[in-house]
Amino acid sequence: MLSEIDHIAAEMGATHVVRFVEAHLGGTVVAIERIPRWRAGWYLTLERDGEAIELYARGERGPDFPSPFDLEHEARVHALLETNGVPVPHVYGLAEGPVRTLIMARVPGQQGLALARDDATRRELMTTYVGHMARIHNIDGERLRHAGFRVPTDPTDVAMSEVFRNVETKYLLLGRRDPLIEFLRSWLWRNVPERTRSTFVTWDSAQFLQHDGELTALIDFELAHVGDAYMDLAALRTRDSIEPLGDLHVTFAEYERLMGESIDFQRLRFYEISQLTVTLMLQFPVLIAPDPESDYVPHLTWYIDSARYALDIMAELFEIDIDTVDVPQAAPSTYHTRLRHLVTTMRTLARSEPKTDLARYGIAVDPTMAERTSASTAVDEFVGWRARCAYRLARHLQRVDEIGSTLDAQNRDDIARLVQHEVLDDAHADETLLTVIDAVGAEREVELLRLFAMRLQRLHMLLGPADSLIVRHRVLQSLPDRA
């Protein structure tokens, strides 16, 4: 006879998770909750010897959004950091099943700084985080080799490290090239800095949990590897654009104090562009061939935001301004009534965004409304999340119907002016851009930068209504050398 938890786990696709936990940790799983987000994940409560043990089961990414490393690599990262005194969730093991899943302790806390009690606490939390970053960057190379990590010594291998090369290889194997990614890749390979000191980096940095004023754990290490220390600093400005981190000038100064050396901010901009290019290459497979389980619009949003910030930072390097594109008047097709009806219907079906998610991104909410979902409603919460996915996609397509043809024509006109001949359609536009990028080097960088900046502004307009948060482009904090 199956228990209630067995039935819930089966409906969530987590039977293998429950079986692994009970077999390897002992006790009985008394609660399980599917986390409503783009990748498979579950919260579990294990009862053992009268004690309730909270666990987090982190599934691998979907087939259209693979990680550069496997879950075994991520487990090794947790073990390395835990051994070196960095607070991270303890990993218990890997559950094999329909979705390979890493089982780890669930550490109390909320992600980011938005729900910290006050500004002073936020500053202290960031100071604590930078201290942990410095500790990670000082892990000895021999320890890294002994723990099974590849430690590059060639300067190019340090700067264009495992994550970039692994992701680039998978992107190239797709057999389909994205003009913007090609432009950025070409620029990066022409401008590789001379870096000889290899350092362990989390890469997708500044992700941590905090509770009652204390930093409880650093999290999310699927891209951690040995590269350049600047890779961790490179994530800060763009992460701050969605999860406010406070005054980053203070953060950079604290890092300089701890490491005993000044930051070369021009060189840091290279790593910011490199990291954003990796994000683009990771998103591209989802955009051209999404898995049925994928939440399409967030991936498109990550692509657009990453692209715009890469171009913003390149404009900083070139010390040029980027022109602003005006939003065109809506010119909906004859099918617009049906699209509007679809959006209205999906809005009714979709739940509002979880309060904890809104707070994490710096949107004011009442903290008392952030409640944990019980096992009895977990499946319903996941269904609600899937409805929100469909609603966001419907709203995007409605906006495409309203202004998409106008923006596509503007993009073709821009390319025609660049090459001085007619561009027939959107496919021809991409082919033309790729031909230009392959044929030229640094001599047309500024022209292409301006063209892509306008193209990405237009694509951003298509995500949703003109007054919605999703089309907002927050200006990055300045780096200290341009304050």
Tell me, what's the pLDDT at 370?
42
Contact 226, 162 (CB under 8 A): yes
Contact 401, 336 (CB under 8 A): yes
Q: What confidence tens digit (pLDDT) does each residue in 445-479 have?
A: 999 999 999 999 999 999 999 999 999 999 999 99
Tell me, what's the pLDDT at 351?
61
| pLDDT, average across residues 387-405 | 95
Contact 33, 9 (CB under 8 A): no
Q: Using 50, 70 and 90 to split pLDDT, how confident is the model at 261? A: very high
Judge whether residue 377 has pLDDT over 80.
no
Tell me, what's the pLDDT at 352?
59
Tell me, what's the pLDDT at 47?
97
First to last CA, the chain: 67
| pLDDT, average across residues 279-306 | 95
Q: Using 50, 70 and 90 to split pLDDT, how confident is the model at 348? A: confident
Which of 65, 68, 294 lies closest to 168 in space, CA to CA?
A: 68
**In the chain, what percentage of residues exceed pLDDT 90?**
84
**Tokens found for residue 238:** 């763009």
Q: Using 50, 70 and 90 to split pLDDT, how confident is the model at 349? A: confident
User: Which ranges of 289-440 does DSSP label H, i.e. alpha helix?
Assistant: 296-318, 336-349, 355-360, 375-419, 426-439
Q: Using 50, 70 and 90 to split pLDDT, how confident is the model at 288? A: very high
Distance (Å, whole) CA 464 – CA 471: 6
Q: How is the chain split into domains, by residue range?
A: 4-105
Of 284-288, 349-353, 377-381, 456-460, the poorest mean pLDDT is in 377-381
Contact 130, 206 (CB under 8 A): no
Average pLDDT, rounded, for the chain: 92
| pLDDT, average across residues 243-272 | 97
Judge whether residue 385 has pLDDT over 90.
no
Tell me, what's the pLDDT at 115?
87
Q: What angle do CA 106, 108, 114 make, to 5 degrees?
A: 125
Tell me, what's the pLDDT at 156?
95
Tell me, what's the pLDDT at 38?
82
> By CB neighbour count within 10 A (0-12 exposed, 13-18 middle, 19+ buried), where does 46 fall?
buried
Taking CA atoms, 261 is separated from 64, 119, 247, 257, in Å, by 41, 27, 20, 7
| pLDDT, average across residues 207-233 | 97
**In the chain, what percentage of residues exceed pLDDT 70?**
94
Tell me, what's the pLDDT at 375?
43
| pLDDT, average across residues 176-182 | 97
Indicate the pairing of strand 208-211 with strand 91-95: unpaired
Judge whether residue 312 has pLDDT over 50.
yes
Judge whether residue 222 has pLDDT over 50.
yes
Distance (Å, whole) CA 372 – CA 369: 10
Task: Please indicate whether residue 429 or residue 349 has the higher confidence score (pLDDT).
Answer: 429
Tell me, what's the pLDDT at 331?
95
Give the helix/strand (H/E) hosting 182: helix 179-190
Q: What superfamily does domain 4-105 belong to in CATH? A: Phosphorylase Kinase; domain 1 (3.30.200.20)
Alpha carbon 407 to its chain centroid, in Å, reads: 27
Tell me, what's the pLDDT at 138?
98
Tell me, what's the pLDDT at 379?
53
Rg of the chain in Å (alpha carbons): 23
Tell me, what's the pLDDT at 368?
45
> By CB neighbour count within 10 A (0-12 exposed, 13-18 middle, 19+ buried), where does 359 fall?
buried
DSSP label at residue 124:
H
Tell me, what's the pLDDT at 354?
58
Q: Using 50, 70 and 90 to split pLDDT, how confident is the model at 367? A: very low
Taking CA atoms, 115 is separated from 58, 111, 212, 357, 358, in Å, by 24, 9, 10, 11, 10
